[in-house]
Amino acid sequence: MNNYKLTDFLPTTKKECELRGWEQLDIILFSGDAYVDHPSFGVAVIGRCLEAAGYKVAIVPQPDWHGDFRDFKKLGTPRLFFGISPGCMDSMVNKYTANKRLRSEDAYSPDGRHDCRPDYPTVVYSQILKQLYPDVPVVLGGIEASMRRLTHYDYWEDKVRKCILCDSKADIILYGMGEKSILELCNCLEEGQHISNIHHIPQTVFMVNKDNVPGGITDKDIILNSHEDCLKDKRKQAQNFKHIEEEANKMHAQRLLQEVDGMYAVVNPPYPTLTTQELDATFDLPYTRLPHPKYKNKRIPAYEMIKFSVNMHQGCFGGCSFCTISAHQGKFVVCRSKESILNEVKKVAQMPDFKGYLSDLGGPSANMYGMAGKNKKACEVCKRPSCINPEICPNLNTDHSKLTEIYRAVDALPEIKKSFIGSGVRYDLLLHKSKDKKVNDAAMEYTKELIRHHVSGRLKVAPEHTSDEVLKSMRKPSFKQFEEFKRIFDKINKEENLRQQIIP
pLDDT in tens, 330-342: 999 999 999 999 9
Residue 504 — pLDDT band, cuts 50, 70, 90? confident
**470 shares its domain with 321:** yes
Any domain includes 142: yes
Angle between the N-to-C axes of helices 276-283 and 338-349, in degrees from 0 to 180, rounded to the nearest 10: 10
Any domain includes 213: no
**191 shares its domain with 315:** no
**353 shares its domain with 472:** yes
Of 201, 228, 261, the one marking the end of a domain is 201
Please state, in angstroms and rounded to a whole number, the distance separating the CA atoms of residues 28 and 81: 7
Please state, in angstroms and rounded to a whole number, the distance separating the CA atoms of residues 406 and 312: 10
Tell me the pTM.
0.95
**66 shares its domain with 191:** yes
Residue 68 — pLDDT band, cuts 50, 70, 90? very high
**469 shares its domain with 325:** yes
**312 shares its domain with 197:** no
Of 169, 201, 233, the one marking the end of a domain is 201
**312 shares its domain with 193:** no
Domain count, the chain: 2
**29 shares its domain with 176:** yes
Q: pLDDT tens across 375-423, in order?
A: 999 999 999 999 999 999 999 999 999 999 999 999 999 999 999 999 9
> CATH no. for residue 181?
3.40.50.280
Please state, in angstroms and rounded to a whole number, the distance separating the CA atoms of residues 313 and 283: 11
Q: pLDDT tens across 18-48, in order?
A: 999 999 999 999 999 999 999 999 999 999 9
Does the structure show a pLDDT above 90 at 209?
yes
Q: What angle do CA 336, 337, 341 make, to 5 degrees?
A: 75
Q: Which residues contact 436 (CB under 8 A, 6 or more apart)?
A: none
> What pLDDT does 1 receive?
45
- Rounded to whole angstroms, what are the CA distances from 32 to 86, 115, 206? 4, 11, 23
Please state, in angstroms and rounded to a whole number, the distance separating the CA atoms of residues 470 and 341: 37
DSSP 429-457: HHH---S-HHHHHHHHHHHHHHHHHS-SS
Q: Which residues contact 197 (CB under 8 A, 6 or more apart)?
A: none
Helices (H) and strands (E) in the chain, counts: 20, 21
Angle between the N-to-C axes of helices 437-453 and 479-496, in degrees from 0 to 180, rounded to the nearest 10: 60
Does the structure show a pLDDT above 60 at 365?
yes
Any domain includes 451: yes
Q: What angle do CA 397, 399, 401 make, to 5 degrees?
A: 150
Please state, in angstroms and rounded to a whole number, the distance separating the CA atoms of residues 447 and 116: 43
Any domain includes 499: yes
Burial 165-174 (b: 16+ CB within 10 A, else e): bbebebbbbb
Any domain includes 278: no
Q: With helix as H, strand as E and coil as C, how does 17-74 read?
A: HHHCCCCCCCEEEEECCCCEECCCCHHHHHHHHHHHCCCCEEEEECCCCCCCCHHHHC
Of 145, 166, 201, the one marking the end of a domain is 201
* H helix runs in 96-200, sequence order: 121-132, 142-147, 164-168, 179-190
Q: pLDDT tens across 236-295, in order?
A: 999 999 999 999 999 999 999 999 999 999 999 999 999 999 999 999 999 999 999 999
Residue 348 — pLDDT band, cuts 50, 70, 90? very high
Any domain includes 194: yes
Burial 66-89 (b: 16+ CB within 10 A, else e): eeeeebbebbeebebbbbbbbbbb
Average pLDDT, the chain: 96
Any domain includes 223: no
Burial 447-469 (b: 16+ CB within 10 A, else e): bebbbeebbbeebbbbbebeeee
Any domain includes 184: yes
User: Comparing C-alpha atoms, which of 117, 112, 118, 50 is closest to residue 82?
Assistant: 50
Residue 2 — pLDDT band, cuts 50, 70, 90? low
> CATH no. for residue 337?
3.30.750.210
**458 shares its domain with 342:** yes
Q: pLDDT tens across 150-205, in order?
A: 999 999 999 999 999 999 999 999 999 999 999 999 999 999 999 999 999 999 99
Domain that holds residue 361: 308-503
Angle between the N-to-C axes of helices 179-190 and 276-283, in degrees from 0 to 180, rounded to the nearest 10: 80
User: Comparing C-alpha atoms, which of 248, 371, 319, 362 is closest to residue 477?
Assistant: 319
Residue 124 — pLDDT band, cuts 50, 70, 90? very high
